[in-house]
């Protein structure tokens, strides 16, 4: 290849998920990792010795060539957002980081790493578009305009045609509650809260605004934003409520997608610590209400420092992802599985008894043993566990459950002999 390096280095580079390439001074590819070939959609044999102009549209190739020249001429690292079209014709948005490398004989090469940010850009654009749509809607008074009485039915004296698009029901259905009341399509779990918020604003003679759910004609859930105010005759005689209702379902969906990005661990794709505490608090409340038992399992991966120090942090990350995959497949969807931090994992298992929790942990250890037997590594994947079983009458806070399980995990780790590694 002309760039040197032992075989093992090539294997490591091929294990990296991001596309990596090396170009010579003539802008020809002289090294490509597997991820690059998969991303572009051509084999290594087709690509090596060729340039961007042989595979990409000229406009894209011109950009790549120009950015290459910047690195060759200045010697400075270059990071640039670009577009690239793969063999199937799909265009991706990418960020490319290019660095100059000079070998011992003095030949210059560009080492490049590509990160596909297409999905992230789509979410950002959708978010921006949704914000723009919402702003435009507000400025042009779209959605549903209404006038209603201040009663528990929200009896409509007037409601605009926008209610048909929002709910699927005809506007005339709601006038004086001829077929149905507006209150009847508010989600049952939100009705009381909607009423209380509006009444509080009326007492203070202030405008009200709130978000809640409605159930449309097809039984679907839609999020709405309502803004309105009470109209008084004289000083205290309330006549009616005027307001507007807007469909914000798309915005809510986007908020939820963006929120999930901050609740998922990047490496393992499990719930992160923040997400775990949110979900665990909810599960404890539900367990108390339903008289269910819970088991808090605290797991620490054994010998993680040894793996990182001797095998490298990439192998350490691989070990963590392997364990995360086992946990995700082993536990039920109703259980909360999370990366607590570093090499620690926590699981909140719902509805298990004390005997079952012991069986569960033994089966998990056996699952890991079977994996070790199948896969050849310079180390054995091993875990230490602490299980804090809580019957319905002994449920405490999630913090207390974790503390006890952590202590039990530490005892498990202390009782083990050192794992023998292959050399």
Q: Report yes or no on 112 lying in a domain.
A: yes
Distance CA 423, CA 402 (A): 36
Q: H or E element: which one contains 202?
A: helix 191-204
Residue 137 has what pLDDT?
A: 53
3-class secondary-structure state, position 19: coil
CATH of the domain at 139: 3.30.450.20
Select from 224, 253, 282 the last residue of a domain. Answer: 253
Number of domains making up the chain: 3
Q: Report yes or no on 138 lying in a domain.
A: yes
- How many residues can be counted in the chain? 423
Distance CA 35, CA 32 (A): 8
Q: Report yes or no on 420 lying in a domain.
A: no
DSSP state of 54: G
Average pLDDT value over all residues in the chain: 88
- Answer yes or no: are the C-beta atoms of 101 and 112 closer than 8 Å: no
Residues 286 and 401 in one domain: yes
Residues 25 and 59 in one domain: yes
Q: Report yes or no on 72 lying in a domain.
A: yes
Q: Report yes or no on 258 lying in a domain.
A: no
Residues 305 and 395 in one domain: yes
Instruction: Report in angstroms the alpha-carbon separations of 62 from 27, 52, 320.
Output: 11, 8, 41
Residues 217 and 291 in one domain: no
pLDDT tens, position by position, 146-168: 999 999 999 999 988 889 999 99
Can you name the residues that pair with 226 across neighbouring β-strands? Answer: 210, 245
Domain that holds residue 140: 127-253
Please state, as a whole number, how many other Cβ atoms lie within 10 Å of the Cβ of residue 252.
18
Select from 55, 85, 116 the last residue of a domain. Answer: 116
Low-confidence residues in the chain, pLDDT < 50:
1-2, 138-139, 418-423
Q: Report yes or no on 148 lying in a domain.
A: yes
Residues 111 and 187 in one domain: no
Q: Report yes or no on 208 lying in a domain.
A: yes
- Answer yes or no: are the C-beta atoms of 23 and 29 closer than 8 Å: yes
Distance CA 320, CA 302 (A): 11
Which class for 27: exposed (0-12), middle (13-18), buried (19 or more C-beta within 10 A)?
middle
Residues 406 and 290 in one domain: yes
CATH of the domain at 347: 3.30.70.270
Nearest to 229 by CA among 239, 215, 221, 217: 239
Q: Report yes or no on 1 lying in a domain.
A: no
Residue 224 has what pLDDT?
A: 94
Residues 293 and 375 in one domain: yes
Beta-sheet strand order (sheet of 20-23): 29-32, 20-23, 108-116, 91-102, 78-85
DSSP assignment string, 245-289:
EEE-HHHHHHHHHHHHHTTB-TTT-SB-HHHHHHHHHHHHHHHHH
Residue 1 has what pLDDT?
A: 46
Residues 109 and 27 in one domain: yes
Residues 143 and 107 in one domain: no
Residues 109 and 245 in one domain: no
Select from 116, 144, 161 the last residue of a domain. Answer: 116
Residues 152 and 28 in one domain: no
pTM over 0.75: no
- Answer yes or no: are the C-beta atoms of 245 and 224 closer than 8 Å: yes
Nearest to 169 by CA among 214, 226, 227, 224: 214
Residues 73 and 180 in one domain: no
Q: H or E element: which one contains 219?
A: none
Residue 260 has what pLDDT?
A: 64
3-class secondary-structure state, position 23: strand
Residue 258 has what pLDDT?
A: 59
């Amino acid at each position: 290849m002309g760039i040197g390096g032992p075989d093992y280095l090539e294997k490591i580079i091929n294990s990296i998920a991001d596309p990596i390439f090396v170009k010579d001074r003539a802008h020809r590819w002289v090294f490509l990792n597997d991820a690059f070939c998969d991303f572009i959609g051509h084999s290594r044999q087709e690509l090596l010795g060729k340039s961007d102009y042989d595979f990409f549209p000229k406009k894209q190739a011109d950009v790549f060539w120009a950015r290459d020249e910047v690195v060759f001429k200045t010697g400075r690292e270059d990071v640039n957002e670009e577009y690239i079209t793969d063999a199937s014709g799909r265009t991706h948005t990418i960020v490319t980081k290019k660095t100059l490398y000079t070998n011992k004989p003095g030949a210059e090469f560009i080492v490049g790493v590509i990160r596909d940010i297409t999905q992230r850009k789509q979410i950002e654009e959708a978010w921006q578009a949704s914000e723009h749509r919402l702003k435009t809607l507000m400025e042009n008074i779209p959605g549903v305009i209404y006038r209603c009485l201040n009663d528990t039915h929200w009896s409509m004296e007037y409601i605009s045609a926008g209610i048909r698009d929002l709910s699927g029901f005809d506007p005339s259905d709601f006038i004086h509650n001829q077929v149905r009341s507006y209150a009847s399509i508010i989600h049952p779990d939100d009705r009381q809260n909607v009423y209380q918020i509006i009444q509080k604003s009326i007492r203070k003679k202030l405008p009200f605004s709130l978000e809640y759910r409605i159930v449309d004609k097809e039984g679907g859930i839609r999020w709405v934003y309502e803004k309105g105010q009470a109209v008084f005759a004289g000083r205290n005689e309330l006549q009616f409520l005027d307001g507007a209702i807007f469909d914000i379902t798309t915005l809510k969906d986007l908020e939820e997608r963006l929120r999930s990005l901050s609740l998922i661990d990047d490496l393992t794709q499990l719930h992160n610590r923040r997400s775990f505490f949110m979900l665990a608090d909810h599960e404890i409340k539900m367990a108390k209400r339903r008289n269910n038992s819970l088991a808090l399992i605290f797991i620490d991966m054994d010998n993680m420092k040894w793996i990182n120090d001797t095998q490298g942090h990439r192998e350490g990350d691989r070990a963590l992802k392997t364990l995360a995959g086992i946990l995700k497949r082993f536990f039920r969807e109703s259980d909360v599985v999370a990366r607590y931090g570093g090499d620690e994992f926590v699981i909140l298992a719902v509805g298990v008894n004390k005997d079952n929790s012991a069986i569960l942990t033994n089966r998990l250890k056996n699952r890991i043993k079977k994996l070790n037997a199948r896969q050849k590594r310079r180390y054995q994947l091993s875990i230490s566990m602490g299980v804090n079983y809580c019957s319905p009458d002994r449920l405490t806070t999630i913090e207390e459950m974790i503390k006890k399980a952590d202590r039990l995990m530490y005892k498990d780790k202390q009782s083990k002999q050192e794992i023998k590694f292959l050399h």
